[in-house]
Chain A
Amino acid sequence: MKRREFLKKTAVFISGASVSLSALELVDPKEVLAKNPDLRWGFLVNTYKCVGCGMCVKACKIENEIPWDANVTRTWVERYVITKEGKVLADSPKGARDGFTSKLIDRAAEGKELVPDKEIAQAFFVPKLCNHCTLPACVQVCPVGATYSTKDGVVLVDRKWCIGCGYCIMGCPYGVRFFHPVVHTADKCTFCYHRISKGGNTACAQACPFGARRIGNLRDPNDPVAKAVLTERVGILRDEYGTKPNVYYIGLNKEVH
């Protein structure tokens, strides 16, 4: 290992200075290439197109072997109902594994709540998944190097090395991580790394009949996702945490974060 490089980076970290990694890029041309490969996975969610059928959640669970009845999921869909009085109600029963088929909004311990149609000002669905952040907080806090970001920007968990401390689950501002009920290590969306790295689509995007979810290469100017991110008005979730998420949303609302 390049001991000097390690010491240098540690020193930068310890100094607490928010020197971005780009500052280090100037040093070594090889690093510039490594940091700027021609592939960087990104995701685009169009919330207008989402109808809350939950086929994406179902496909994800089956594709990625997340036990069907376990109340954890790598992706989920949230329903937001905003009344004319400005009250916001949101739910995601079982992560929308079975879709949204009832007008009753799940208020957990408070029971179910019905909002009459005429009181609804707007209502919509928001699919959620791991944001595969450029500066993932979950990776920063892993004490053993069991979770990491790949060269093409996908955040993965090493199931053979994870000690199961749960720090990454606490560190994620988006709540996408959980303990896998069978493997007993931290688990999360992989952008279906096994599929996309073979040129395929993610299971959730493939299962979506409406094209509400799309994965693409943000570094390719001809990629539809990259184009949309560049030319349309897109938002990201919780940018205040400085994690630089790579899941972009069309039609975000202030109630969603």
Chain B
Amino acid sequence: MKGHVWRPLFVVIGLVAAILVFRMFYVPADFGVHDQGYTFGFHRLGNEQEWKQFPEKYKGTEYCNECHDDKVESISKSGHGIIPCEDCHGAAFNHPEDPEKLTVDRSRALCLRCHSELYMPSSQRNDLPGINPKTHNEGMECSECHNPHNPSLEEM
């Protein structure tokens, strides 16, 4: 065999070496096989931290209770006590700094999420008071008659 036949091989070896050198600089140092092994845990470790730092928007009823304890107290006595404040008042974000005021969703559509009557045997939906949105005061906002914090008309 003549020596020249190896020349393409040298080119290939050079190419592979170039890729490997580039790889050394390109791939982050924390990329590798972590806790769950090669199949399920091959990743950049720093990404876990990035996800942990994702900003929270919903703060929970306890957070609301820190200032609005009177409201939390009053609603807790009604049937709507199980509903977290932010479901209707919107996510708190960094309220009261940003936003200063939350926009309350008073829409009929919001109430209908639970109270549009559907026939759902074998589901708790059937146990909720339901109305037919087409016949029950169509066009009106529910809050015109019902107090969301104390929705039962008998008790008003």
Contact = CB atoms under 8 A, between A and B. Distances in A.
Direct contact between A and B judged by beta carbons closer than 8 A: yes
Interface of A: 1-2, 5-6, 9-10, 13, 21, 24, 34-35, 37, 47-55, 59, 62-64, 98-103, 117, 120-125, 135-136, 139-140, 145-151, 156, 158-161, 190, 193-195, 197-198, 200-201, 203, 206-207, 209-210, 251
Contacts of A48: 122-124
Contacts of B43: 145-148, 158, 161
A10 to B, nearest CB: 7
Interface string B121-133: 1111100100001
Contacts of A149: 36, 40-41
B39 A13 contact: yes
Interface string B35-56: 1111111111001101111111
B68 interface: no
A200 B57 CA distance: 12
Contacts of B112: 99, 101
A98 B57 contact: no
A51 B41 CA distance: 37
B114 interface: yes
B57 A24 contact: no
B123 A123 contact: yes
Nearest to B87: A55
Interface residues of B, number: 47
A113 to B, nearest CB: 14
A59 B82 contact: no
Contacts of B67: none
Contacts of B23: none
Given A63-B91, A98-B109, A194-B53, 13 more contacts: A6-B38, A21-B39, A48-B123, A48-B124, A53-B114, A55-B87, A59-B58, A99-B114, A101-B133, A123-B118, A193-B54, A209-B114, A210-B82
Contacts of A140: 39-40
A106 to B, nearest CB: 13
B1 interface: no
B33 interface: yes
A62 B57 contact: yes
B42 A145 contact: yes
A54 B113 contact: yes
A124 B122 CA distance: 6
Given A50-B123, A59-B58, A99-B114, A9 B84 contact: no
Given A55-B113, A148-B36, A120 B123 contact: no
B20 interface: no
B119 A103 contact: yes
Given A1-B32, A207-B84, A150 B48 contact: yes
A122 to B, nearest CB: 4
